[in-house]
A and B are shown apart, each in its own frame.
Chain A
Amino acid sequence: MPNLTYIALIPLLPLAGFLLLGIFGRNYFKTTSGIIGTTLLLIATVLAIYTAYGYFFEYGKVAGVYQKLVPLHYTWLEFSKGVSIDMGIILDPISVMMLVVVTFVSLMVHIYSLVYMKGEERFPTYYAFLGLFTFSMLGLVVSSNIFQMYIFWELVGVSSFLLIGYYYDRPSAVAACKKAFIVTRFADAGFLIGILILSFYSGTLDFNTLIQKLTSPDSVELKNAVAASFLGVSALTWGLVLVFIGGAGKSAMFPLHIWLPDAMEGPTPVSALIHAATMVVAGVFLVARLFPVFAISAPEALNLVGYVGAISALIAAVIACTQTDIKRVLAYSTMSQIGFMMFALGVSGHGGENGLGYTASMFHLFTHAMFKALLFLGAGSVIHFIHSNEMKDMGGLRKYLPITHITFLIACLAIAGVPPFAGFFSKEEILLAAYQHNSIIYYVALFTSGLTAFYMFRLYFSIFWNKKADIHGEHHGEGGFALLMPLILLAVGAAAAGFIPFGNFVSSDGTKLESAFHLQFSILPVAIGLIGIFTAMWLYKKKNDKPDKIAASLSGLYKAAYRKFYIDELYTFITKKILFNLIGRPAAWFDKNIVDGLVNATGKATQTISEKIKGMQSGKVQQYAIYFLIGVIALAVLFIYVWK
């Protein structure tokens, strides 16, 4: 194995950018901060690709199996022997893949933002935060220790908070960033408790040791973790489910998804980076990281992952069909696609052919990062042009934004699963895995892919076809090279990434997975996808009143979906009514009136008593004589009657 310490530079370069621009940006790099951030990230990207090449083609594979290498490893905080938080780098197929995805998408967003965010007052701050996010996300994917991952997990959360709240003077952005942070924090508490449980039974926080101890059938740790149970569920399952709750929060799985649509208040390139391609898939990555434990030792927990993923995929797709804000449509679409990745893991087994779901999930994560980032950047280009997020303000834009139009179409075809675009291959594998292992999930997924094709093309036709938008006044064109280059590069990815023989590189046990292509199997999903596309075309290509009529005829369902199934209202009820009014207010009242009241009452009582008895010290000898007499009599009585 060559010297790989340079890999530490990949996360550290964006960190350097954050510190440099965060501290000095306002004063010294007012206009150059974009270039500085982008340059640092370009170097990181080159290093990441170099690493990926080296890992996949040179030193990663030993005897046909991709190894888990740990080239760097420092003890950060030692609790006791064997239990410590370490800062390290792990290299395995998924972390190397994520290094490339994160740096590449981040680089695209950095370049895109040079134009998109130009002239913003807090331009240096924006690039500083992007650097912080990229650093945290890279730290997360290379974590060799579960607590290290938790640390970076929190850091990506806070970068997301800062970037959603970038337009801090808009009340809606402030509300959105708080919501995102608090909802994910709630989930993170689950993750934390899960870590405590897993580390208690395995006696380590190191991923490799932990996985090894909790999967080998004859280990004492595994036996203890399975034997201990709470409410009829083993401690190991509890631990994994709690960890998964953390993942579900970050990956916006039902019912913890409510923060994601609101997070669209952030600048659009940020949505592309954080809320489409990288941070939101952290939950999938977490389950994948612990996958052997899930699959071998706690299949119940893995089942839960599968069902949560499938439900999220379906619900999000239904809601996406009704939304009118283009970024929100994309947000729900992201949630739905992450649902696909989740249930793909949920239906997967470990090792060999059984691990198809695992490979498919990672494959979809990879292709989704390309086409979803592209969709968001395309949407950004549209919003930049039309100054609105609402579909009703758009239409016929294909003439004004030709490159955006083409690249957006490619992305739509990719997500709809039309061959030969990238999404087709990854979705095919997911559906095949579901078909082999769980037929309920398979049918849900099939239906959802139809919906996906429908709502994506509803979006596409509403933006680029349909009626002609009202375009008046000064409108700059499509933006410069910096705005278009990321679109084109990502479009190449979205079109061609499917041809990568993914099973050769990423599989549940590191061996090569031959994913046979089944033509007869892929006919049905493609047909359903095409039905979705043509329905959307029929309804939205030209302006007509059919969509409104259909919405009216389905009024109950439509309204419920449009209102996002009232989940937000439910949350408001819980937080406002229960947390604040039922717990917070009484606690504050109790403290002020009862606890403090007692303290004050003690003070008052002391004062009153001393007020009462101060008359006794009168200085009058006769009075003292009487007290003396009373005392003597009292003592006499005591001596005679009590101590007798």
Chain B
Amino acid sequence: MNLLLLILVPLLTATAILLMRNASQVKWVALTGATAQLILAFVLFFAFRKEQAAGNPLQMLFQQQYNWFPSWHISFHLGVDGISVAMILLTAFVVIAGVLVSWNVARMTKEFYFLLILLSLGAYGFFISLDLFVLFFFLEIAVIPKYLLIGIWGNGKKEYSANKLALMLMGGSALVLVGLLGVYFSTPEHTFDLLKLSDIQIPPEVQKICFPLLFVGFGVFTAIFPLHTWVPDGHSSAPTAGSMFLAGISMKLGGYGCLRVAVFLMPQGAKEYSTIIIVLSTIAILYGAFATMMQKDLKYMNAYSSVSHCGFVLLGIGMLTKVSMTGAVMQMVSHGLMTALFFAVIGMIYERTHTRQVNEMGGLLKVMPFIITILFIVGLCSLGLPGLSGFVAEMTVFMGSWQHPDPLHRIATIAACLSIVVTAVYILRAIGQTAMGPIKAGYENLSDATWNEKLAAIILVIGIVAIGTAPFWLNDLVSPASQLILEKIQLVQ
């Protein structure tokens, strides 16, 4: 299958949106475009599985290469492995759900949808790039729309949050850029090509400097401790779809970058710094969970819990085993779907109650059974209930992490296991206060979800349940790719 389609479809959608006359046309064009993305993602998934079943030995499938800046050895090199396919599927799910829940955005609808689609374009480009320069280019495309989405359509202290988010992510990108240039100039070929670089041994002294630059740079995106503080403010100020894209897609760019660029190209650096990664991610998991427990605003709560959950991604990567890295990717997909859904539900509740403070709500199950049922499902997914995606991902990370018998890895794994108790505490507190108990006065006549909200929620629930009840398809997709990364690591002494 032609990977260029993944860039062309959002591009065409975005262009078409600009040409539309009124808001209703814009919405339908965006929805059509998002549906096309979803279909495309599935076509890619099945095409990939077919190749995999046929025993295609190439690491990256469906490769294409076009010259871009030949003098600098930059080429438009595309290709996917199982990890990319998983991320592309995730993106397509989040995009269509995001488009659907934004149906009632009244202000500057055209610009809003344009930015959403542009963001998805950046994400797809990022996930299929095999050239580090192109990858970086798409990373930046994915950052800018977020600034505008929060700054224009956000609420609360939106300017502050937009600035903070953009500056911190730009700071991360700057580190990434420096790291990439370091890699570029360290090799005699002067190449940005991922596959070529992976064949060359990057000198250990370069890895020592560039690995932390790249890892931390990408890590900022995925809320590495202590550079996670853009997450709570950014998410809570963003409009619903903005939060969904931020948590569901943007944060995953970081995890993907850590794995694909930092660990894959610099296994020696990864080994050297794995202790620090493990310590930081364990802190993020527990500290994030405890901080979540004290939040009273639903969006802050979910944002802090994202810090905790993304800690599992970094923990899985830092553990450097095949199973733990597979678990990290699963956690990315699972967390993406789950958090997007969580923010969608919070948005639906907020639109009706006009508050996000848990203590101002109560008994909402009575008036909005559908929305609250979804809240239960997503809450249970977040606390790792079997049958939903969170469980599968977390358990895979635990199983992978436990393969190291030394005390550090053991303590980190046990601490991560114990976080599931804290997660249960904050999720049940939130659900108990919002959904259960006697209904608060003034909320008796609230309405339940509309068709677009229902559709968005159902799409994401399908994703969550599909992973939760039949994890083998995701495992089969991802684990060969993590096996290849592991082999690179094993080559290092």
Q: Is the CB of A588 within 8 A of B294?
A: yes
Of B291, B395, B399, B471, which one neighbours A584 at CB under 8 angstroms? Answer: B291
Interface: A57 (CB within 8 A): no
- B322-361 interface mask toward A, CB cutoff 8 Å, 1 = contact, 0 = none? 1100000000000000000000000000000000000000
Q: What CA separation (Å) do A401 and B383 show in the bound complex?
A: 45
Min C-beta distance of B302 to chain A, whole Å: 15
Task: Tell me how far the C-beta of B133 lies from the nearest C-beta in chain A, rounded to whole angstroms.
Answer: 28
Near B by CB (< 8 A), chain A positions 161-176 give 165, 168-169, 171, 173-175
Instruction: Please tell me if the beta carbons of B386 and A193 are within 8 angstroms of each other in the complex.
Output: no
Q: How distant is the Cα of A186 from the Cα of B419 in the complex, in angstroms?
A: 10
Instruction: Find B471's partner among A77, A177, A199, A595 (CB 8 Å cutoff).
Output: A77
A154-B385, A579-B425 known, 6 other contacts, Cβ within 8 Å: A79-B399, A171-B438, A588-B291, A588-B294, A595-B226, A595-B229
Residues of A within 8 A of B167 (CB): 603
Residue in A79, A80, A154, A168 whose beta carbon sits within 8 Å of that of B435 in the complex: A168
Identity of the chain A residue whose Cβ is nearest the Cβ of B407 in the assembled complex: A230
Contact A80 B414 (CB under 8 A): no
The answer to whether A591 and B168 touch (CB under 8 A), given A77-B475, A168-B365, is: no
How far, in angstroms, from A185 to B421 measured CA to CA in the complex?
Answer: 6
Given A169-B436, A587-B291, A591-B291, A182 and B417 contact (CB-CB distance below 8 Å): no
Cα of A83 to Cα of B479 in the assembled complex, Å: 14
A588 interface neighbour in B290, B323, B400, B424, Cβ under 8 Å: B290
**Are A80 and B417 also in contact (CB < 8 A) when A174-B437, A595-B226 are?**
no
In the complex, which residues 556-612 of chain A have their Cβ closer than 8 Å to any Cβ of chain B?
579-580, 583-585, 587-588, 591, 595-596, 598-599, 603
| Nearest 6 pairs of A and B residues by beta carbon | A588-B294, A151-B386, A587-B290, A168-B436, A596-B229, A584-B293
Alpha-carbon distance A150/B399, docked complex (angstroms): 14
The answer to whether the Cβ of A181 comes within 8 Å of any Cβ in the partner chain is: yes
A-B contact pairs, 24 of them (CB 8 A): A77-B396, A77-B475, A78-B472, A79-B323, A155-B387, A169-B363, A182-B421, A182-B424, A185-B420, A192-B417, A196-B398, A199-B402, A200-B402, A579-B293, A580-B293, A583-B290, A584-B291, A585-B294, A587-B290, A587-B291, A591-B287, A599-B168, A599-B227, A603-B163
A574 to chain B, nearest CB (A): 12
**Hey, which chain B residues are within 8 Å of A599, CB to CB?**
164, 168, 227, 229-230
Given the interface pairs A158-B380, A587-B291, the reply to whether A80 lies near B322 with Cβ below 8 Å is yes
Interface secondary structure of A, over-half rule: helix
Give the residue of A26, A75, A152, A165 whose beta carbon is less than 8 angstroms from that of B436: A165
Residue A444 is within 8 A (CB to CB) of chain B in the complex: no
Set of chain B residues within 8 Å of A177, measured between Cβ atoms = 432
- Chain A residues near B383 (CB-CB < 8 A): 185
Q: Which residues on A sit within 8 Å (CB–CB) of B418? A: 189
For residue A291, CB closer than 8 A to chain B, the reply is no
Query: A587 and B438: CB pair below 8 A?
Result: no
Does the CB pair B402–A189 fall under 8 Å? no
Chain B, residue nearest A162 (CB): B376
Of all chain B residues, the one with the shortest Cβ separation from A603 is B167
Is the CB of B413 closer than 8 A to any CB of chain A?
Answer: yes
Q: Is A59 an interface residue (CB 8 A)?
A: no
- Which residues of A lie under 8 Å from residue B163 when comparing CB positions? 603
Interface centre among B229, B369, B400, B429 (most CB of A within 10 A): B229
Q: Are A189 and B399 in contact (CB under 8 A)?
A: no
Query: Which B residues, 280 to 303, have Cβ-Cβ distances below 8 Å to chain A?
Result: 287, 290-291, 293-295
A76 within 8 A of B: yes
Q: Report A-chain residues with C-beta under 8 Å of the C-beta of B402.
A: 196, 199-200
Q: Closest CB of chain B to A223's CB: distance in Å?
A: 15
A68 in contact (CB, < 8 A): no
Is chain B's interface secondary structure helix, strand, loop, or mixed overall?
A: helix
User: B residues 409-456 with Cβ under 8 Å of A?
Assistant: 413-414, 417-418, 420-421, 424-425, 428-429, 432, 435-439
Residues of B within 8 A of A199 (CB): 399, 402
Among B230, B398, B413, B437: residue with most chain A CB under 10 A: B437
Q: Which residues of B contact A173 (CB under 8 A)?
A: 436
A567: min CB distance to chain B, Å: 19
* Cβ–Cβ < 8 Å partners of B304 in chain A: 591
Using an 8 Å CB-CB cutoff, how does the interface string of B455-475 with A read, 1 for contact, 0 for none? 000000000000000011001
B291 to A: closest C-beta gap in Å: 5
Known contacts A178-B432, A182-B428; is A196 also within 8 Å of B421 by CB?
Answer: no
CB pair B437 A588 closer than 8 Å? no
From B167, B291, B472, B475, residue with most partner A Cβ within 10 Å: B291
- Picked from A26, A154, A603, the residue with its CB within 8 Å of the CB of B369 is A26
The answer on a CB contact under 8 Å between A168 and B293 is no
Q: Say yes or no for B138: interface residue by CB 8 A criterion.
A: no
- Residue from the set B230, B391, B432 with the largest chain A CB neighbour count within 10 Å: B432
Q: Is B424 in contact with A181, judged by CB distance below 8 angstroms? A: yes
Selected contact of B437 from candidates A168, A182, A188, CB within 8 Å: A168
B169 at interface (Cβ–Cβ under 8 A)?
no
Query: Which residues in A have their C-beta under 8 angstroms from that of B387?
Result: 151, 155
Q: Is B392 an interface residue (CB 8 A)?
A: yes
Q: How far is the CA of A385 from the CA of B436 in the complex (A)?
A: 28
**In this assembly, does A147 line the interface, its C-beta being within 8 Å of a C-beta of chain B?**
yes
Q: Which of A78, A168, A196, A587 contacts B287 (CB 8 A)?
A: A587
Contact present for B421 and A78 (CB under 8 Å): no
Is the beta-carbon distance between B294 and A580 smaller than 8 angstroms?
yes
Alpha-carbon distance A169/B363, docked complex (angstroms): 6
User: Does any Cβ of A come within 8 Å of B366's Cβ?
Assistant: yes
- Taking CB atoms, residues of chain A closer than 8 Å to B70 are none
Known: A169-B438, A174-B437, A587-B294. A78 touches B475 (CB 8 A): yes
B405 within 8 A of A: yes
Query: Which chain B residues lie closer than 8 Å to A168 at the CB level?
Result: 363, 365, 435-437
Complex Cα–Cα for A444 and B230 (A): 59
A584 touches B294 (CB 8 A): yes
Please measure, in the bound complex, the distance between the C-alpha atom of A542 and the C-alpha atom of B163, giving whole angstroms: 78
Closest B residue to A597 by beta carbon equals B229
Q: Which residue of A lies closest to B471 (CB)?
A: A77
Given A154-B391, A587-B290, does the pair A171, B386 have CB atoms closer than 8 Å?
no
Q: Chain B residue with minimal CB distance to A161?
A: B428
Residues of chain B within 8 A (CB-CB) of A76 are 471-472
Bits for B157-193, please: 1 = Cβ < 8 Å to A, else 0: 0000001100110000000000000000000000000
Chain B's closest residue to A153 (CB) is: B386
Q: Are A155 and B417 in contact (CB under 8 A)?
A: no
A584 to B228: give the CA distance in the assembly, Å: 17
Inside 8 A of A178's CB, which chain B residues have their CB?
428-429, 432
Nearest chain A CB to B9's CB is how many angstroms away? 33
**Nearest opposing residue in chain A for B402, CB measure:** A196
CB-CB contacts below 8 Å: A119-162 with B: 147, 150-152, 154-155, 158
A158-B385, A193-B414 are known contacts. Are A591 and B399 too (CB-CB below 8 A)?
no
CB neighbours (8 Å) of B369 from chain A are: 26
In chain B between 363 and 400, which residues have their CB closer than 8 angstroms to a CB of chain A?
363, 365-366, 369, 380, 383-387, 391-392, 395-396, 398-400
Tell me which residues from 1 to 60 in chain A have a Cβ below 8 Å from any Cβ of chain B: 26
Which A-chain residue is minimally distant from B370 (CB atoms)? A26
Kindly list chain A residues whose C-beta atoms are within 8 Å of the C-beta of B227: 599
In the bound complex, how far is the Cα of B229 from the Cα of A193, in angstroms?
31
